[in-house]
């Protein structure tokens, strides 16, 4: 029979292995997602009352998702997708550009649209 120390050593070895492979972060993100799903039922009705336009909220959430994915925050993005009930497939960038009235350029095509919006605001302010 395994001793307590053997069990603790085995647990630490599994944890170290999962952490080294990046799987521990994924497991933690999945657990957070499940907890958020359980908790969101009580907040859903109050949240939907304060939304101005579901379309605007969708665009904002997609901008955030694009930024998170571009930065490599895949676990955070997974939680966002689940919590906001976004489709697994992101909205087409051309569609978002059209909705925002922005124009894709060679300079902006490789960065998230949030960066483009910030640059546009800076130009408008003359900064």
Q: How does pLDDT run across 51-97, given as a tens digit for each residue? A: 556 888 999 999 999 999 999 998 899 889 988 888 889 999 989 98
The total number of residues written for the chain in this structure: 127
Position 32 in a domain:
yes
Is 108 among the domain residues?
A: no
Cα-based distances in Å from 21 to 24, 47, 103, 120: 8, 37, 40, 40
- 62 within some domain: yes
Q: Which domain holds residue 25?
A: 4-91
Q: What is the pTM of this model?
A: 0.62
CB 119 within 8 A of CB 73: no
pLDDT tens across 46-64, in order?
Answer: 555 555 568 889 999 999 9
pLDDT for 44 beyond 80 = no
The answer to whether position 24 is within a domain reads yes
**Side-chain-facing half-sphere of 15: CA atoms under 13 Å:** 7
Confidence of residue 107 (pLDDT cuts 50, 70, 90): confident
Residue 110 lies in a domain: no
Q: How many domains does the chain have?
A: 1
pLDDT beyond 70 at 27: yes
Per the domain annotation, does 123 fall within a domain? no
Give the burial class of 42: count Cβ atoms within 10 A of its Cβ; 0-12 exposed, 13-18 middle, 19 or more buried: exposed
């Amino acid at each position: 029979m395994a001793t307590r120390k053997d069990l603790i050593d085995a647990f630490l070895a599994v944890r170290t292995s999962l952490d080294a492979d990046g799987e521990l972060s994924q497991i933690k993100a999945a657990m957070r997602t499940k907890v958020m799903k359980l908790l969101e039922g009580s907040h859903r009705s109050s949240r939907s009352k304060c939304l101005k336009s579901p379309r605007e909220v969708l665009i904002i959430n997609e901008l955030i998702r694009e930024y998170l994915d571009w930065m490599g925050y895949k676990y955070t993005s997974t939680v966002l997708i689940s919590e906001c009930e976004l489709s697994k497939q992101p909205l087409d960038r051309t569609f978002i550009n059209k909705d925002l009235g922005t124009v894709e350029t060679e300079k902006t095509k490789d960065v998230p649209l949030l960066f483009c919006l910030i640059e546009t605001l800076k130009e408008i302010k003359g900064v």
